[in-house]
Chain A
């Protein structure tokens, strides 16, 4: 039992507003953890409700995004422990979903990236996502993952190296399509994007 000092209505309203604003980010983070979109939304909803129920323990003025991501991550790993066999099924569902939701604007590369990400150990994947896509500093990512800053740094750099290797070698288990095409299109994208900055 946590002592629940009730929030005043104004703070509660603000909290709720902020929480609603974070939903898209929670969904995105959940999607990278689960792969399958429906499972991910369930996870994001659970995390949202956990955050809401725990609102009185949130320290106003601290990083709410990091706080909710931590809740979501904990939820994910406790779900996973409960039914780790499910992940096998999730994986298959993910294969289908990922192909289905592929962005037509970037036909190959994004899917290759998803496939490659799935091959990383989960602690490397989450570290890379938090820092590389979620906009968190190493310190914040460390807090979210409950580990040392140095650990996050090394996970991120190992993840980057591994991804680079996978994408280069075409090691992803897709349908045996040549990696060269994927890599070329990724490189072309990078060139285009770096040119436009």
Chain B
């Protein structure tokens, strides 16, 4: 399932070896998770909980009353 034809830029001949590609993929994975986790680890802004609390007080039975600021 590998697609060797994909490598046609050939910027520097003979430079990108398999090991480096593997390392690069690993780096991408690490960075992606870091990016995501950075946000996950941020404190949740108060308005999220406020909104939920308000919804709770409405009793939750009704539909959207659209009263959000």
Contact = CB atoms under 8 A, between A and B. Distances in A.
Q: How large is the interface on A (under 10, 10 to 19, 20 to 34, 35 or more residues)?
A: 35 or more
A147 interface: no
B57 to A, nearest CB: 12
A186 B24 contact: yes
Contacts of B42: 24, 27
Contacts of B56: 16
A190 B35 contact: no
Interface residues of B, number: 40
Interface stretch (A66-74, A80-88, A126-134, A137-145): A126-134
- Is the contact region of chain B dominated by helix, strand, or loop, or is it mixed? helix
- Is the contact region of chain A dominated by helix, strand, or loop, or is it mixed? helix
Contacts of A109: 31
Interface of A: 4, 6, 12, 16, 19-20, 23-25, 27-29, 31-32, 41, 44-45, 48-49, 52-53, 55, 103, 106, 109-110, 113-114, 128-129, 132-134, 160-161, 163-165, 167-169, 183, 186-187, 189-191, 193-194
By Cβ-Cβ distance, the 3 closest A-B pairs, closest first, are: A190-B27, A133-B36, A28-B39
Given A164-B25, A186-B27, A189-B31, 9 more contacts: A16-B52, A24-B39, A49-B51, A52-B52, A55-B60, A132-B32, A189-B27, A189-B30, A194-B23
